Structure 1
């Protein structure tokens, strides 16, 4: 009895440490940046310093920019160079004088300060002090001597920044920062709710974390429904935070996925897979993206969305029609299931930004479903480890890359969730093959190919589950039962195929999308494209995911396994234009290595204890199916990249394409738990929770700095 009480006391102590470290991880990630002294930016132009846009000097008019009201001591940052590119690059002209001034509301230049700057023909970043009186509406720069300086920028806009001269903790400017986020990302709702539109998602996220922390204390008293619901709430709240932070159309390909969903809502059919190509479907969408500087912010680490002064421009954009045109986009060849879930959100509103925000909420629900399904999958693999299932679901919900994609309009999280659902349904079907479970599995297996074309790569894995049933589990049924189960699976799959075929015919598109048929059709070569060399592709695929071996020809510049996949999964967001520090990728690599080692140890022990009888276990069939799904995804992504470059296209390399491998990670986690001694499981759970909380918080803080600081 004393040993039992000691074990219970130890379990509660470990649970208390888990709760404490999860909360500490999140608090540290948020509190440290808020207390760090920061020069708050008051204005940042998205222009890059790539060309000369103006000249200041004797006889030239002042150049004005930063048309945002501000006052006080500020620092003005510009990119200048000496005019006259014919001069030697190393020659320094120390006599270039410039005058920096603040323009009042009446147009008068006040607070002028002169500065002498050493310039060459190479662009130089210059910081100039300025005292801006109340009512300042712009900053102007003019020449202060004979020498002339070229102002750099892009498209006629000078590259410039205006920041507070003195640094102070960001916590002191938290109110201004919240207003900035509300106006920059959630403008339609901010007009009604004000700053609360930013506070509410963060409050929901904190409450969801607090609820999970409370559940960790229960241990064996947990219920599966409670675990799944808590993980779903945390995943939804996390994605909701990202939806409130990331500016509109700054999630990869969000504009074309929005167009597809809005077109489906308006016409009842998918957009045409051929015809005129465009990435904007309506005049209102095009005008809204121009007002929000979408093109200048994307791919530009310096680019910031407009924080204020866009009300009138957005009002004018909303007067334009928002009827989606029948144009071809990058997403036109995709199947309709994901967009069908977004279409009701598009029907609720008429304007672009409210529609986009409603669609983001639906995609956040997909993120919640993914976290819940990860917990359910783990619980199905280890029914007595509900606390571990809660930790796996929490880690999935706090995965920054998945939450970033789930906070936008993009089908990758939905594809991962439906893949997880199909494997959970497949495991339940193999455990107890009934007609109802067969129908559920067939319907779930039909979902990924109807969400995204990449889902076709998962079909061999789902077919493997049916093969395992036919080879092993069907023996326990009578002939009539076997026929009923097989018929239910076949009829459900056939109905899904017929529904898609009818929709494709009504939409005027082929059953096999052009993206797939063209990829297969060029494998044998064309008049301008050489045929595929299998040995070359095998080497290419190896270098695509793994370090290049010494005897291999260098087919891919750099190291994609590190720069694309590891760094991308660790945290690369936006249009791949900002990321977490490189040390995060190292920590992730160490964690994955430890997870694999523990999983191998657990799998080895299981094989030794069960022997050949393990092959008859339903879990073994699902492991094989998940492995086939993973191989299918890896092959498809590598082939798409190889074929695209071979035919003169662009690379196909983004870490989000590997999100469907997440079910395999859950399987590895289940094996790793078995491989860890019981006394180390609590420590491992503590480390995972602390790291995930810190990881999520760091990614959110980095995103705030990317777009609003």
Structure 2
């Protein structure tokens, strides 16, 4: 449906000098960028607390990811799928970490299973070191297969670089794990400004950008995974970059350099995991829905982006098909008879339920479950935001393009589970983290929905910022409190007992943990202050409110007066873009 440009009222003549008027947009953007830095630090602090709260190896495949990074760090290369093995050092670390034990918050109690709260932690100075002598495993070591070589090695090469540069490649296993967890937190933090700029590009509202920035705090599972050692952190960053660039395209930025940048981002992402390929439809549709160039010109840019992506990283998957006969080979053989059988009539509902649960909160190895009411509420909020962004005028084209990414990822996970059920009767690989590549798109669409629901009004959108910041921080801190109790507080125990257990398992001493918490609380309080002050920073004269309720115009209608006029939204991006509604 074609969206028309609303009538733009002519603004009154300013009372300030022309030079001050020209400086207003730049000054407004400086304030926005300072606020964005604070909110980015708040999200990063949230991830860092998750990194020190989650017990070792109590996140999906964490021992595999650590093992593969250490293999590269110690010259073990990247073996063919099925030919990589766990190292003796990682096997010892997994045993010391009481990996085969149930956390107290497990969804159902197993009386015959080893309980995490009953395990006495190995003292820090007695924990195993993983060095050149213990970091490599092979078929003769008697260890299990590490299936991570079914993926490309980019994430693991970067993680190995972190260990080598920091000198931790021959340190204790828990210190190595913490270093890589914090590396993933850094990758998470880099997605925050990309989400904010995606929303601001679409709406031309700095307030909408700040709303998108704090969206990750709504998702406890996101903090759990991004605060662990996991290659999905780099997948999320690559998809965030592709999402931002697609938003530029759909709002009219059809420069060749953008097409090349898209190709580079997708190519690097494809050297991490095949999930990044689900960003391709978003890019293609963004070019199809963009305005300002002919069809051949837009298709030419799609081709350029595709060629660059193929040269940088797509070749890996083509090579797999040629040499291994599959796009993604199976790193470890599955045994269908070991999976619980699911009746055909319950397959769809089971997949949907599992995926929603694992997206919002399934800690550990999907065994600590967020209460269902929160999962349902979160799902309904996301669905409502998506429908609002698509139904209400203002940013329907951009929202449609962006939503293809999370929708495609969710469909891919569901189809893979359904396909496995066809020959095994069981359901596998329904993990919400596989959809985290679409979180930046969801953050932007959520911000768009808020902007639309307040009538695209500048001041009302600004007043939504403190509300969203408070709600997200409450959700973020609440999720951490839930996780802490689920991991460390046994039945009938006090909070002090749980704290003592956490300190005993931690890779660092109590003063370092206290410093992390103090810095995190400082970042969160700063975010609350920034959110509270934001509406006052953007306070505008009443004479400007009449025009603020419409979508930002592509250009301001010039005044008949020779006196320079004030732009409708002085603190928004000064450069107009096409089809930014």
**Shorter-normalised TM-score: what interval?**
0.5 to 0.7
Size of the aligned set, in residue pairs, is: 438
Q: Does 1:441 align with 2:262?
A: yes
Is the partner of 1:696 in helix, strand or coil?
helix
Question: How many angstroms apart in 2 are the aligned matches of 1:498 and 1:588?
Answer: 35
Distance (whole Å) between structure 2 residues aligned to residue 672 and residue 620 of structure 1: 14
2:116 is matched with 303
**Is 2:154 the counterpart of 1:376?**
no
Tell me if the contact between 2:87 and 2:136 (Cα under 8 Å) persists in the aligned partners: yes
Q: Hey, what does 2:135 align to over in structure 1?
A: 322
Q: What does residue range 405-444 of structure 1 map to in structure 2 within 5 Å?
A: 405-429=225-249, 431-444=252-265
Matches within 5 A, 1:208-247: 220=28, 222-223=30-31, 225-247=33-55
The alpha-carbon distance between structure 1 residues 333 and 221, as it changes in their structure 2 partners (threshold 3 A), is: closer
Query: Does 1:404 find its partner at 2:224?
Result: yes
Q: CA shift at 1:363, angstroms?
A: 0.6
Aligned equivalent of 1:475, options 288, 294, 299: 294
* 1:222 shift after superposition: 4.7
Structure-2 change in CA distance of 1:467 and 1:268 (3 Å) = farther
Looking at structure 1, the residues matched to 383 and 427 of structure 2 have their Cα atoms a distance apart, in angstroms, of: 32
Is the 8 Å Cα contact of residues 599 and 674 (structure 1) preserved in structure 2? yes
For the Cα contact (< 8 Å) 1:401–1:573, is it kept in 2?
A: yes
**What is residue 273 of structure 2 aligned with on the other side?**
452
CA change 1:692–1:494 in 2 (3 A) is: closer
Residue 373 of structure 1 deviates from its aligned partner by 1.5
Within the candidate set 269, 294, 312, 2:99 is matched to 294
Aligned positions of 1:536-551 closer than 5 A: none
Larger helix proportion of the pair = 2
Give the aligned partner of residue 513 of structure 1.
328
Following superposition, the deviation at residue 244 of structure 1 comes to 0.7
RMSD of aligned Cα (Å): 4.0
What is residue 152 of structure 1 aligned with on the other side?
Answer: none
Q: Please say if residues 403 and 441 of structure 2, whose CA atoms lie closer than 8 Å, have aligned partners that are also in contact.
A: yes
Partner residue, 1:55:
none
Answer yes or no: is the 8 Å Cα contact 1:273–1:333 preserved in 2: yes
> What TM-score do the two structures reach when normalised by structure 2?
0.65
2:150 is aligned, of 327, 333, 336, to 333
The runs of 5 or more residues in structure 2 that have no matched partner are: 1-10, 12-25, 107-114, 490-581
Q: Deviations over 1:428-479 (max 9, x none)?
A: 245232232221111122233332222233333333345556xx544399x8
SS at match of 1:575: helix
Among 345, 348, 358, the residue aligned to 1:554: 345
**Equivalent in 485, 493, 502 of residue 705 of structure 1:** 485
| CA displacement, residues 20-58 of structure 1 (integer Å, 9 cap, x when unaligned) | xxxxxxxxxxxxxxxxxxxxxxxxxxxxxxxxxxxxxxx
Cα distance in 2 between the residues matched to 1:656 and 1:486? 28
1:358 Cα deviation after fit:
1.6
Q: Call closer, same or farther: CA 1:292–1:489 in 2, change over 3 Å.
A: closer
Q: Distance in 2 between matches of 1:557 and 1:628?
A: 20
Deviation digits for residues 640-678 of structure 1 (CA, Å, limit 9, x no counterpart)? 111222232652222222223324422243144123234
Shift of 1:499: 6.3
The question of 1:647 aligning with 2:418 is answered no
- Look up the match of 2:565: none
Which secondary structure state, in structure 1, belongs to the residue aligned with residue 116 of structure 2?
coil
Distance in structure 2 (CA, Å) of the matches to 1:620 and 1:411:
32
The offset of 1:318, in angstroms, is 7.5
TM-superposed CA distance for 1:254, in Å, is: 0.6
Contact between 1:298 and 1:575, CA under 8 Å: does it hold in 2? no
Structure number with bigger Rg: 1
In 1, Cα distance between the equivalents of 2:371 and 2:452?
33
Question: In structure 2, do the counterparts of structure 1 residues 557 and 627 end up closer, same or farther at CA, with 3 Å as the change threshold?
Answer: closer
1:355 is displaced (CA, Å) by: 2.2
2:184 aligned residue (348, 351, 363) = 363
**What secondary structure sits across from 1:290 in the alignment?**
helix
Q: Which residue of 1 aligns with 2:64?
A: 256
Greater per-residue strand proportion:
1
8 Å contact kept, 2:211–2:447 = no
Looking at structure 1, the residues matched to 344 and 314 of structure 2 have their Cα atoms a distance apart, in angstroms, of 46
Residue aligning to 1:273: 81
**What secondary structure sits across from 1:554 in the alignment?**
helix
Alignment of 1:353 onto 2:168:
no
State how far apart, in whole Å, the 1-side matches of 2:94 and 2:363 are: 19
1:252: how far off? 0.8
What secondary structure does 1:451 align onto? coil
1:169-196 alpha-carbon deviations (Å, 9 max, x no partner): xxxxxxxxxxxxxxxxxxxxxxxxxxxx
Q: Assess, with a 3 A threshold, how the Cα gap between structure 1 residues 624 and 502 changes in structure 2: closer, same or farther.
A: closer
C-alpha distance in 2 between matches for 1:412 and 1:577: 19
Distance 1:605 1:626, change over 3 A: closer
- 1:143-158 pair list within 5 angstroms: none
Matched, 1:578 2:368: yes
Rate the CA distance shift 1:487–1:637 in 2: closer, same or farther, 3 A. closer
Cα deviations by residue, 1:124-170 (Å, 9 ceiling, x for unpaired): xxxxxxxxxxxxxxxxxxxxxxxxxxxxxxxxxxxxxxxxxxxxxxx
1:268 shift after superposition: 6.5
Matched with 1:661 is 438
Is this contact kept in 1: 2:241–2:265, CA < 8 A? yes
Higher relative contact order (CA 8 A, sep 6+): 2
> CA 1:222 to 1:588, structure 2 compared with 1: closer, same or farther past 3 Å?
farther
Distance (whole Å) between structure 2 residues aligned to residue 503 and residue 559 of structure 1:
35
Is 348-357 or 493-502 further displaced after alignment? 493-502
How far apart are 1:354 and its partner, in Å?
2.6
TM-score, normalisation: structure 1: 0.54
Kept after mapping to 1: 8 A contact 2:358/2:430: no
C-alpha distance 330-307 of structure 1, shift in aligned 2 (>3 A): same
- In 1, Cα distance between the equivalents of 2:306 and 2:447? 33
In the alignment, what sits opposite 2:408?
632
Deviations 1:598-640 (Å, cap 9, x if unpaired)? 435xx4344xxxxxxxxxxxx6664443343334313311121
Give the counterpart of 1:461 among 277, 282, 301.
282
Rounded to whole Å, the distance in 2 between the matches of 1:369 and 1:307 is 37
* Residue pair 1:599, 1:671 contacting (<8 A) in 2 also: yes
Distance 1:362 1:697 in 2: 21
Mark the CA change 1:300 to 1:231 in structure 2 (over 3 Å): closer, same or farther: closer
Structure 2 distance, partners of 1:265, 1:511, is 28
Paired position in structure 1 for 2:207: 387
- Answer yes or no: is the 8 Å Cα contact 2:418–2:427 preserved in 1: no
Residue 576 of structure 1, CA deviation = 1.9
Cα distance between partner residues in 2 of 1:584 and 1:454: 27
Question: Which one of 289, 293, 309 corresponds to residue 493 of structure 1?
Answer: 309
Sort the Cα spacing of 1:312 and 1:641 in 2 relative to 1 into closer, same or farther, 3 A: same
Q: Sort the Cα spacing of 1:292 and 1:636 in 2 relative to 1 into closer, same or farther, 3 A.
A: same
Given that residues 356 and 379 in structure 2 are in contact (C-alpha distance below 8 angstroms), is that contact kept between their aligned partners in structure 1? Answer: yes
Distance 1:355 1:509, change over 3 A: farther
1:404-426 CA-to-partner distances (Å, cap 9, x unmatched) read 11110112233222112102112
